[in-house]
Structure 1
């Protein structure tokens, strides 16, 4: 029977416990599992290799991404690192270069450029909104193309289906970071992506109380390779972290609806505000990639960025002046957060093609009463 998103979020991988009937998946803390004979076990041997609570959350999120396989990790960057290891086992003659969108999370840039780059895996930053330029300037040694959509922090959106077609014609793996959109708003696997990656710390967990990463794929070969390195390198989540993520995802749909509603109220405040130079939000008709977002997303998300006319110091004053929006890194949780990317989450991209404007403020709009959020931000803008 075909089931809807919220039904799968609550039930996929979460059958009542066969021994006790518990409707909540138990936290299986055991590190090892008894075997009936040598090599004869019930699916689990050692918790780094597999754990029942981890299996439940992997099944749950894979179902939401409409993927055949799901693999969870100790953090989003651990998940990304495992994906990049695919370049080391690619077939002879395959490219080792990563094409990275020229607007991306600073931690992803740092990992690709400053960890994998010096090991002999080159990278190129490209404008993924210009498909003709992408076709014309495709480096021959490209093995992987990496895109966030919407991006962090400028919220640019890319046409996943079109980019996947270009990449697959040239033999490259397509990785989509779906952290901002979540599987509730967008399912990249259905649009041609080979791999979807999440910082599960963000919207999937949703409560700023668990760090995790996730990879989804319907490619059996890629799943096998990533599963091997998941076990061999060992950056797996604990059973308790798996449980916390499992619980958080149950309410993803209702949370995302509220995030989107509140974000629109914030955009309405900002769009004509005299202190604002520019608002970045995918719903706006002049936003880069608006057409792609409208085509492939159910709604436009809970992230909003804006640039302050008076410059960097004024942007930082706004970030310091709110009382309901908390000045903090991270995003995607029930509470609203505000930050200055250039001095916080994207500092590692300074001086690179991914450097962000110094007058940029990024908001993770939470699920508080929207009138309170609007009043709070309006008061902060009055300080400049």
Structure 2
């Protein structure tokens, strides 16, 4: 079954009681049992909900995962992975990762005795050099947010397997339409479902997928015990959004390519970060492990100041200034003060994330209108 067909049908059956083609919203907190312990697979909605079960199976199919779990947010999915570790364990992370992940790792979990080391994963040797006998997890983000760094998932997975460390990949920027980390050797795939998978800026949700039954069992126990689960209404909305994921991603990629090339040729733009350029670092890796280059783009203007960046951000009319990404509408953001404000400035600058960097989430609008908005904002 190919991707578009899986998006519409995988894990989804008509409701057996009515024949409804759309999965019902099971808005219930509990389930009646025939006798103590005798039930239809559902006892309490924190543990399981039929709407959520269908969604979990659907996203798992898109990631070629045997198991899938949905969570209340991408961050609750991320913290579930870290909760499988113990004090004294070490994690090696992508250097320029999402600011929320950095905050969770350094401000929450480090106080419980888990060590996080941030390295430039564009060169797998840096990961090999940083591993110790206490390293239990390699946390990969590719393409990275917002520098669009490309990391070789297959190479990192081989290193993790060699040293007995699990490899988890944040696949949010690519979506399962463009990249499947489990097929490349990763143990765990994570999504902020909020972004491309849901795709309509109306849901907060996270997902974890794996082919390892023991890992999935751990995730299920934490999901049940901690209770960071999505409600059935949100699961319904995501199921509806997924049905057009392949169509939306095609348009995101088409528009992204045009916008990236427009910016690269613009006289007022100095640098453009987009993995589809042949001179983008690790472009050959992107071509190997991705089926397209997506609609996420960052750029720096020639007048490289925060004042100029702010002036440009205020002038956008069609691109909405807002956090998040991956929705059908185009968004523009300022990572230094928005998504990555929790990272100390010196660390941001070291990773190339300057105060003047602007990030675009290119939507599915008519491309001529997007280009016109960029032209008037950057001029």
Give TM-score scaled by structure 2 length. 0.97
1:233 aligns with 2:230: no
1:28-56 CA-partner distances (Å, limit 9, x unpaired): 01111111111111010010000000001
Tell me how far apart the structure 2 counterparts of residues 231 and 263 of structure 1 sit (CA, whole Å).
39
1:234-253 counterparts in 2 under 5 A?
Answer: 234-253=227-246
Among candidates 338, 345, 368, match of residue 339 of structure 2: 345
Among candidates 50, 72, 82, match of residue 52 of structure 1: 50
Counterpart in the other structure of 2:356: 359
Shift of 1:132: 2.3
Q: Tell me, what secondary structure is at the counterpart of 2:85?
A: helix
1:113 aligns with 2:110: no
Shift of 1:8: 1.0
1:176-233 CA-partner distances (Å, limit 9, x unpaired): 0000000000000000111100111000110000100000110110000010000000
Counterpart in the other structure of 2:155: 162
Q: Tell me, what secondary structure is at the counterpart of 1:313?
A: helix
Counterpart in the other structure of 2:75: 77
Tell me how far apart the structure 1 counterparts of residues 194 and 126 of structure 2 sit (CA, whole Å).
34
Among candidates 131, 147, 156, match of residue 124 of structure 2: 131
1:92-107 counterparts in 2 under 5 A?
Answer: 96-107=89-100
* C-alpha contact 2:348 2:354 (8 A) present in aligned 1: no
Alignment size in residue pairs: 375
* C-alpha contact 1:125 1:353 (8 A) present in aligned 2: no
Tell me how far apart the structure 2 counterparts of residues 142 and 316 of structure 1 sit (CA, whole Å).
41
Counterpart in the other structure of 1:122: 115
* C-alpha contact 1:145 1:175 (8 A) present in aligned 2: yes
1:67 aligns with 2:65: yes
* C-alpha contact 1:102 1:353 (8 A) present in aligned 2: no
Cα distance change on mapping 1:354 and 1:165 into 2, 3 Å: farther
* C-alpha contact 1:280 1:305 (8 A) present in aligned 2: yes
1:260 aligns with 2:253: yes
Tell me how far apart the structure 2 counterparts of residues 203 and 8 of structure 1 sit (CA, whole Å).
16
* C-alpha contact 2:92 2:130 (8 A) present in aligned 1: no
Tell me how far apart the structure 1 counterparts of residues 129 and 82 of structure 2 sit (CA, whole Å).
25
* C-alpha contact 1:269 1:378 (8 A) present in aligned 2: no
1:145-294 counterparts in 2 under 5 A?
Answer: 145-294=138-287
Shift of 1:155: 0.6
Q: Which moved more, 1:195-204 or 1:354-363?
A: 354-363
* C-alpha contact 2:86 2:114 (8 A) present in aligned 1: no
1:324-344 CA-partner distances (Å, limit 9, x unpaired): 000000000000000110011
1:374 aligns with 2:368: no
Q: Tell me, what secondary structure is at the counterpart of 2:17?
A: coil
Among candidates 134, 145, 148, match of residue 141 of structure 1: 134
Q: Tell me, what secondary structure is at the counterpart of 1:45?
A: coil
Among candidates 307, 310, 315, match of residue 313 of structure 1: 307
Give TM-score scaled by structure 1 length. 0.96
1:25 aligns with 2:23: yes
Shift of 1:350: 2.3
Tell me how far apart the structure 2 counterparts of residues 346 and 288 of structure 1 sit (CA, whole Å).
22
Counterpart in the other structure of 2:321: 327
Q: Tell me, what secondary structure is at the counterpart of 1:197?
A: strand
Structure 2 gaps of 5+ residues are none
1:295-331 CA-partner distances (Å, limit 9, x unpaired): 0000001101101221221112211111000000000
Counterpart in the other structure of 2:41: 43
Structure 1 gaps of 5+ residues are 90-94
Q: Tell me, what secondary structure is at the counterpart of 1:216?
A: strand
Tell me how far apart the structure 1 counterparts of residues 195 and 360 of structure 2 sit (CA, whole Å).
13
Tell me how far apart the structure 1 counterparts of residues 331 and 215 of structure 2 sit (CA, whole Å).
35
Q: Tell me, what secondary structure is at the counterpart of 1:87?
A: coil
Show structure 1 runs of 4+ deviating over 6 A.
Answer: none
Tell me how far apart the structure 2 counterparts of residues 230 and 352 of structure 1 sit (CA, whole Å).
36
Q: Tell me, what secondary structure is at the counterpart of 1:342?
A: coil
